[in-house]
Structure 1
Amino acid sequence: MNLYVMRHASAGTRRANPVLDVRRPLDKQGKRDCLLLGNTLSSMNVAFDLVVSSPLKRSLQTASLVGTETGYEQKILLSDALAPQATFAQFQKLLAECSGYESLLVVGHSPNLVQFLGLLLQPAATAQEDCERRPAAVRLRKGAIARLTLDRGAAMLQWMLDPRVVGKLYASSTSKSRRKTSRK
């Protein structure tokens, strides 16, 4: 399975009231980052068989914008296994349920999604070691995506895309390709 792990894009500042924070939408920069990233993924011929999102608004918007740009037309599945309070066991159960899909995009939140990613990159441990092991250190910024291949044992990280890098690449590719030179 090709697993794409994405952290939701920029959604402004966190609200003190947790009820209001659940409904916090993406800001302008977050929407722009999603569209650029989706466009980049599309140009890389990345397509998703299934898109799963946290039920929070900012994650659902991120999944929707990126999915639309890559040609995903099915319904986005909402899962509490990607919510901010989810556990690694819930996340593993979600992956097991989606094992029939070849290409899966999951969109969630930090810090748990980053921890899940770090734990996936480690070799399998026994049940006792599972409680004691620390996840591999991975930095996944808002709007960033990582591609992993899941086989038996540890997952393998194929690549990561950061929205700031994608923005810089897009800006440099749309500007003039020839350097200015003097004709004197």
Structure 2
Amino acid sequence: MKTLTLLRHAKSGWDDTVSRDFDRPLNAKGRRAATIIGRQMRTLSLAFDHVVASPAVRVVETLDEIVAGYGRTLAPDWDRRLYLASAGTILDLVRDLPRGVDRALVIGHNPGLEDLVLLLTPDVTHPFRDAVEDKYPTASLAELQFDIDDWDDLTSGSARFTRFVRPRDLDPTLGPDAD
């Protein structure tokens, strides 16, 4: 059995004057959301054999805040291919994970993460899948399980969607901003 956890970076600041999208930092709400998700990861006793993350500034800062809440060090492999990656690119990266890795955490961006969840889960009514179809918010965590021995055996629709945690589920003030 393999478990794949997909984490979208936390909310970034659009009002920061950075010259490249890659360098956009988190805003205050994003920092809070990431810390709360980290605490939830600790509460749920989530553990990972391998972590892969986009090296974008907002992902690096998300990981810092996750670790603050989680209380454990996560030493990711920084992989530039994850920056704004498509579902297909992320799937290729996951299929290349070492066979001995049973619990992987991938931290990246949308729409690739959302598209990957929808690709890997059966297209049936399911509360978590329905929520992702609606929106995969920043700092949200999706957990998928597979009855496979090798990551290379991942196929469309083969995942069991076991968990979807959004920051607003833990703190309503982290929900969508009012217009």
Flag whether TM exceeds 0.5 (same fold).
Answer: yes
User: Would the aligned equivalents of 1:51 and 1:63 in 2 still touch at CA under 8 Å?
Assistant: no
SS of match in other structure, 2:40: helix
Gaps of 5+ in 1: 124-135, 170-184
- Conserved 8 A contact 2:67-2:74: no
Structure 1 residues 118 and 139, CA, compared in 2 at 3 Å: closer, same or farther?
Answer: same
Q: What is the aligned-residue identity percentage?
A: 26
Shift of 1:55: 1.7
Structure 2 residue matching 1:13: 3-state secondary structure:
coil
The alignment's C-alpha RMSD in Å is: 2.5
Rounded to whole Å, the distance in 2 between the matches of 1:14 and 1:95 is 33
Helix, strand or coil for the counterpart of 1:137? helix
Per the TM alignment, residue 14 of structure 1 is displaced from its structure 2 partner at its CA by 7.1
1:89 shift after superposition: 3.4
**Aligned AA (1:50):** H
Q: Name the larger-Rg structure.
A: 1
* Aligned equivalent of 1:29: 29
Asked whether the 8 Å contact 1:114–1:138 carries over to 2, the reply is no
Normalised to the residue count of structure 1, the TM-score between the two structures is: 0.73
Q: Is the 2:4–2:145 contact (alpha carbons within 8 Å) kept by the matching residues of 1?
A: yes
Matched, 1:94 2:93: yes
Q: Does 1:9 align with 2:10?
A: yes
Matched residue type, 1:165? D
Checking the alignment, whether the CA contact within 8 Å between 2:86 and 2:111 is kept in structure 1 is no
Asked if the contact 1:148/1:155 (under 8 Å) is kept, the reply is yes
Q: Is the 8 A contact 1:82 1:108 kept in 2?
A: yes
| 1:149 equivalent in alignment to 2:145 | yes
Which structure 2 residue ranges, 5 or more long, are not aligned? 124-131, 149-154, 174-179
Deviation, structure 1 residue 168: 3.8
Q: Aligned partners of 1:95 and 1:163: how far apart in 2?
A: 25
How many residues matched? Answer: 155
* Moved segments of 4+, more than 6 Å: 14-17
Q: Normalization by structure 2: what TM-score?
A: 0.75
| Cα 1:70/1:48, change in 2 over 3 Å | farther
Specify the SS of the correspondent of 1:157.
strand
Matched residues in 2 for 1:50 and 1:67: separation? 15
